[in-house]
Amino acid sequence: MIAPHGGGALRPLLVADPDERAALAERAQKFPSALLSSSGAANAVMLGAGYFTPLGGFMDKAAALGVAESMRMPDGLFWPTPVLCMVESFDGSVGDTLALRDPNVAGEPPLAVLEVGAAETFSEAEMAHLCEKVYRTSDRAHPGVSAFLQQGRTALSGKLRVLNCSYFETEFASTFRTAMQIRARIEENGWKKTVAFQTRNPMHLAHEELCRIAMERTGADGCVIHMLLGKLKEGDIPAEVRDAAIRKMAEVYFPPNTLLISGYGFDMMYAGPREAVLHALFRQNMGATHFIIGRDHAGVGDYYGAFDAQAIFDDEVPPDALQIEIFRADHTAYSKKLNKVVMMREAPGHKSEDFVLLSGTKVREMLSQGIAPPPEFSRPEVAEILMEYYRQKSGRVGAGAQ
């Protein structure tokens, strides 16, 4: 199986022994505490679950600035984005043992315990520099930039022990999996080559077929549909609805032992190219050999070019930085001429009207009105789940599909 990033074993920071973990969680209730931001909590979960191997914890200021500038840690390790624990202020001292509290769970229980090695404040200029390098913009209208700048400017780092995986392991018990668990399933399935597909949206017919195309062309034995379960921007479809829609698609339209449906506990950054590289890195850690990157991967608005998330692997990522291979996908759509889903660049002699192309806004309008998108765009079983969500959201009980 493909080796984790860094070439060693997975390095999960979740306290392994259940009794030790429970005892530490009880003691942590009495420790001085700091309330994490949602993205800080997600970073702790990713560190705990092994996805951020081989990091030993949150980055200090020097490491974060170095990663933003050159995608390298001080020891030379390749890493694409800062992994920080940012707080509004810190009144303690270096050497303190601190309970990091979870903002996303009722009662804000301890999520992790940090032995504070450093508490360092970024200047406004340094925060803007981080944004420019990681998000390619410091525009506060960018949802990732906005979330990052709202966390505070003081970075805490040090020895980290993670106590749990937040609400992901309770609210998404059948879907959330650690990197270790996914590796174990891939090995159990006997897959030698595995494609990973990232999604923060329900999967329509084009996404479904893209997974088939990638598996066929890479010679993969299976595909991990790996959905983001954390916080999204306003208007995106909730994780539980996406989960139900994707599971229905897999159940009806894929043979047994070819898909693994799972999810991970992270908040979307919308950082485009840099986030695409991060996505590839932690898919390597979970055991995938290939990762699909398509049009506008991890993008938002008009901040990135359509294929910037692919170009970064040619222009900025050293050839030996990652072992996972990138499957470069074009925009995928149903061809009326060929009567099948194709990657549009592979369909010569086509005009835009030869494809079934619907904008996200148009699809949401149709679903909210109880109108199923055409079968060339969405499976009817998937459309029904999404229409039901919009019916409940709007309070339109009993509205039928058209």
Residue with tokens 């074993």: 9
**Angle separating helix axes 124-134 and 61-70, nearest 10 degrees:** 40
Instruction: Identify whether 72 is a catalytic site residue.
Output: no
* Residues 333/355, Cβ–Cβ less than 8 Å: yes
Burial 119-149 (b: 16+ CB within 10 A, else e): beebeeebbebbbebbbbbbeeebbbbebbb
Q: Is 211 within 8 Å of 198 (Cβ atoms)?
A: no
Q: How many CB atoms lie within 10 A of CB 201?
A: 16
Terminal Cα distance for the chain, rounded? 47
Q: Between β-strands 355-356 and 332-335, what pairing exists: parallel, antiparallel or unpaired?
A: antiparallel
Residue linked to tokens 């990762």 = 291
Longest dimension (CA), the chain: 69
Q: Does the active-site annotation cover 339?
A: no
Tokens of 175: 């879907």
Contact 280, 322 (CB under 8 A): yes
Cα distances (angstroms) measured from residue 340 to each of 141, 214, 248: 38, 16, 21
**Residue 162, SS3 per DSSP:** strand
Contact 334, 350 (CB under 8 A): no
User: Are residues 331 and 350 in contact, defined by beta-carbon separation less than 8 angstroms?
Assistant: no
Contact 310, 347 (CB under 8 A): no
Catalytic residue among 11, 200, 295, 364: 200
Neighbour count for residue 192 (Cβ, 10 Å) = 13
Active site residues per annotation: 200-201
